[in-house]
Amino acid sequence: MATGEITHIEFPADDLDRAKRFYEAVAGWQFSEMEGFPGYWLFRTAEGSGGGLGRRGESVGNVIRDYITVTKLEDAVRAAEQNGGKVVTPPSEIPGMGRWAAVLDSEGNEIGLWEDTPKA
């Protein structure tokens, strides 16, 4: 997968069942709860792309967050800070999957940064 691609999006919801019904009806997405992350529901839109749905402010943030795949997470976080951004959530690992962080861009929009776990 190329870096710089938007590969994941998270939607916050106040009522998870209502939100799942909405996206199932509108987009045809099918949801499955992510193992080890209660209240976080995954969907796929294409191979390697998709997103998550979670309870606002609990299993996801308070705003829609797009994730951009980067080569080196710390470098991307540092670049964000050096170019007018701010760290919302410092780098953190999801074992066996990868690492992520959340930042505000120079315009105050929240984005996620994602680094895949290297393939063995």
CATH number of the domain encompassing residue 65: 3.10.180.10
Q: Does the residue 68 lie in any domain?
A: yes
Q: Does the residue 46 lie in any domain?
A: yes
Q: Does the residue 37 lie in any domain?
A: yes
Q: Does the residue 1 lie in any domain?
A: no
At 2-40, the pLDDT tens digits run 578 888 999 999 999 999 999 999 999 999 999 999 999
In whole angstroms, give the CA distance from residue 104 to residue 108. Answer: 5
Question: Which residues form the domain of 14?
Answer: 6-116
User: What pLDDT does 2 receive?
Assistant: 57
Q: Does the residue 38 lie in any domain?
A: yes
The identity of residue 31, as a single letter, is F
At 15-25, the pLDDT tens digits run 999 999 999 99
Q: How many domains does the chain have?
A: 1
Q: Does the residue 82 lie in any domain?
A: yes
Side by side, the strands of the sheet bearing 6-13 are 32-33, 40-46, 49-55, 6-13, 65-69, 110-116, 98-104, 86-94
